[in-house]
Amino acid sequence: MQKFFKICLYSLLIFFSISCFYLATFKTLEFFKKEEIKEVKPKKTIKKEETSKLSLIMVGDALIHSAVYNNGLNNDGTYDFTKMLTKVKPIVKSYDLAFYNQESILGGKEIGLSTYPRFNSPYEVGDAFLDAGFNLVSLANNHALDRGEEALNNSLNYWQSKEAYTAGSYSSFENRDNIKIATKNNISYALLAYTTVTNGLTRPNGKEYYLNVYDEEQVKQDILKVRDKVDLLMVSMHFGTEYTFKQTLEQEQIANFLASLGVDIIIGHHPHVVEPITFINNTLVIYSLGNFISGQDTINRLTGVMVGIDVKKENNKISLDNLRAILTYTKKNNGYEVIPYHDLTDDILPNKIKYEEEYQNVLTSLGTNISFE
């Protein structure tokens, strides 16, 4: 009997030992299984939103009357207009992109400089604007044909030797139709330019590429050709009625048409005075920037505006933010110079506060919120 109990006891001990061994082995396998599953479990990734920004400033006409180019003449027969832009240069340089309209054609002094009504200006005007930081230039306006093909070719040769982005005048149909696309700060952009007026002058037959005259069907083709290829699309429009502070019905119709085609910014000039700024849906419309520099002789025509905007691209969508403006005045006495209103003194422009309020009211007359600097 005692022997039987011993056998039972040994059997239980053996069974218990075997059970413990298998239990330990099973736990170990379960541990490694869990570790294995943990290692191959995919991690959640958070997609970062991509944001790109650039700043853009726009000014109006460079209309170089004889009084202006004579003031830029040096004793050695060369020209220098850089001193006329000294006070606005730091502002322009602080922007990524800077636009202006070269109203008087740069045909060079070799064909003879001229003033109103058929303008021709020295190349050094362009040099001064490039030096000041301007890099977007409209060549489409009512004075582009003033001095014929020779001036047009000279102008095109000048601009083709520079790095600025020009639009509105071309050396061939191929160049006209091959719309340039550029990129800044990861934002791609294009500039188109048109004029509705030519002062009764006509383009040479078969060489219509010299000047983009506004034609609704052609404009539509141009926009559709490039709209889906760029983030930011700008259209420079030389339109409206001279010396009026209110946009015309034609300007409104053109602006609505361009906005319907997805243009982001419409940059207007020609009236030689400032006109309202507005939005049509998401399209910024500047009806007229006024003169930036000219030899004209009234405060209205010596006043222009620099309009700034921030362009933001987020997840491939463009938005326009922080609309702002700086009024400018072309001082004539003791030499021509473009001066921001906030730097004007009473001896340069008496009652400047009165005029500043007047032009600010014009710019905001359509209810647009603009920050004035």
Give me the residue spans of the domains in the chain: 10-45, 51-372
Please name every residue paired with 318 in a beta bridge, in sequence order, or none if there are none: 313
The pTM is what?
Answer: 0.87
Q: List, for the chain, all residue ranges whose pLDDT scores fall below the cut of 70.
A: 1-49
The span from the CA of 182 to the CA of 165, in Å, is 8
CATH architecture of 51-372: 4-Layer Sandwich (3.60)
pLDDT digits (tens, 9 = 90+) for 2-55: 444 444 444 444 444 544 444 444 444 344 344 444 444 555 554 556 899 999
What pLDDT score does 50 carry? 81
Give the tokens for residue 298. Answer: 């009234």
Q: Give the pLDDT score at 48.
A: 56
pLDDT of residue 183: 98
Helix, coil or strand: residue 56: strand
Pairing relation of β-strands 277-280 and 283-286? antiparallel
Of 358, 361, 363, 306, nearest to 329 by C-alpha is 306
pLDDT of residue 227: 98
